[in-house]
């Protein structure tokens, strides 16, 4: 890509449902999830992405074994820190966007940290916040300065999602995220119009609107999934986490006028039909209002 195009293209490594720690007691496959995660980080480095976007369930368990948490920390420190400068600007208010975190700041803007590849992540249903302090493993990684944990909702009556606003050259990205919420509850909130997505006030039409969600997409019962029609039609692309089957090629929803990409789990967590296919992560390139998703085998 020529220099000027590169300057205006946001490159994002997209992965979801890494399920670190899946089958960790298995003598043979016990390290698979960490090995796969390392390959993903290698790819991010190789393709010189601007950032990594994770769609939830980074960990398989709410309280991952120490070996797994440590393995993840070691990998993030190895691959995501370094001299390479971060080449996009952050335009929204980090103190509001990360107000749910003890350090309401972006890791790569912290003068005490040297981040080369920022990681942005929402939580999934396996690694959701619980217990005293309502914390999850991503809170630990955020406070350690290794990830930027967004999309945590603290009000379960009414959700207002304001986007993280990023800009690289002429490309402007509004990044919306919503960590996993029990499907029935979220379904009800959508029906009662208690979920609102806020939009940037200025030059509304110039933004590429990307939403990352971690819910049931396939219809298990009437209310235990989130129909695509519930989502706002101003969105350009939805990254759908939680569903483990790889359907990463963006699928056009003609009613809503947006694309949906479902990367699927990066590690096989069952041998059911939907999961038997090849696993992929995605290299998402956004330029203006256009995007391209390239599959990378996981």
Binds Mn ion (CB under 5 A): choice among 21, 64, 124, 145: 124
Cβ at position 99, least distance to Mn ion in Å: 25
If the CB atoms of residues 50 and 57 are measured against Mn ion, the closer one turns out to be 57
243 binds Mn ion (CB under 5 A): no
Q: What is the dihedral of CA 135, 152, 167, 103, to 10 degrees?
A: -30
Q: What is the CA radius of gyration of the chain?
A: 18
242 binds Mn ion (CB under 5 A): yes
Active site residue 126: yes
3-class DSSP assignment, residue 167 = strand
If the CB atoms of residues 62 and 105 are measured against Mn ion, the closer one turns out to be 62
- Residue span 46-75 as binding mask against Mn ion, x where in contact by CB under 5 A, dash where not: -----------x------------------
Q: Which residues contact 96 (CB under 8 A, 6 or more apart)?
A: 104, 162
3-class DSSP assignment, residue 210 = strand
43 binds Mn ion (CB under 5 A): no
Cβ at position 241, least distance to Mn ion in Å: 7
For residues 59 and 56, what is the distance between their CA atoms, to the nearest angstrom?
8
If the CB atoms of residues 163 and 179 are measured against Mn ion, the closer one turns out to be 179
Written as six digits, the tokens of 199 are 């939009």
179 binds Mn ion (CB under 5 A): no
Catalytic residue among 19, 60, 126, 187: 126
216 binds Mn ion (CB under 5 A): no
For residues 13 and 39, what is the distance between their CA atoms, to the nearest angstrom?
12
266 binds Mn ion (CB under 5 A): no
Q: Which residues contact 204 (CB under 8 A, 6 or more apart)?
A: none
Q: How many CB atoms lie within 10 A of CB 132?
A: 5
125 binds Mn ion (CB under 5 A): yes
Contact footprint for Mn ion (CB under 5 A): 57, 124-125, 242
Give the catalytic positions in this structure: 126
């Amino acid at each position: 890509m020529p220099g000027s195009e590169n300057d205006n293209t946001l490159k994002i490594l997209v992965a979801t449902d890494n399920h670190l720690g899946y089958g960790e007691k298995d003598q043979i496959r016990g390290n698979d999830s960490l090995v796969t995660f390392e390959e993903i980080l290698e790819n991010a480095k190789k393709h010189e992405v601007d950032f990594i976007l994770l769609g939830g369930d980074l960990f398989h368990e709410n309280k991952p074994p120490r070996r797994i948490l440590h393995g993840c920390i070691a990998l993030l420190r190895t691959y995501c820190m370094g001299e390479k400068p971060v080449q996009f600007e952050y335009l929204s208010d980090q103190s509001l966007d990360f107000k749910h975190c003890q350090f309401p700041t972006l890791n790569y803007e912290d003068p005490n940290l040297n981040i080369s590849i920022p990681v942005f992540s929402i939580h999934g249903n396996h690694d959701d916040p619980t217990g005293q302090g309502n914390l999850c493993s991503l809170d630990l990684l955020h406070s350690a300065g290794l990830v930027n944990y967004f999309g945590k909702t603290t009000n379960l009556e009414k959700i207002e999602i304001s986007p993280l606003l990023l800009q690289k050259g002429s490309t402007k990205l509004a990044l919306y995220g919503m960590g996993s919420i029990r499907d029935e509850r979220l379904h009800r909130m959508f029906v009662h119009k208690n979920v609102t997505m806020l939009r940037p006030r200025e030059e509304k039409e110039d933004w590429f609107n990307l939403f990352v969600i971690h819910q049931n997409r396939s219809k298990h019962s009437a209310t235990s999934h989130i129909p695509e029609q519930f989502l706002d039609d101003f969105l350009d692309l939805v990254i759908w986490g939680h569903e483990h089957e790889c359907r990463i090629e963006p699928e056009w929803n003609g009613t809503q006028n947006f694309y949906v990409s479902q990367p699927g789990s990066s590690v096989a967590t069952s041998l059911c039909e939907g999961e038997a296919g090849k696993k992929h992560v995605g290299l998402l390139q956004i330029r203006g209002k256009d995007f391209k998703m390239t599959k990378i085998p996981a």
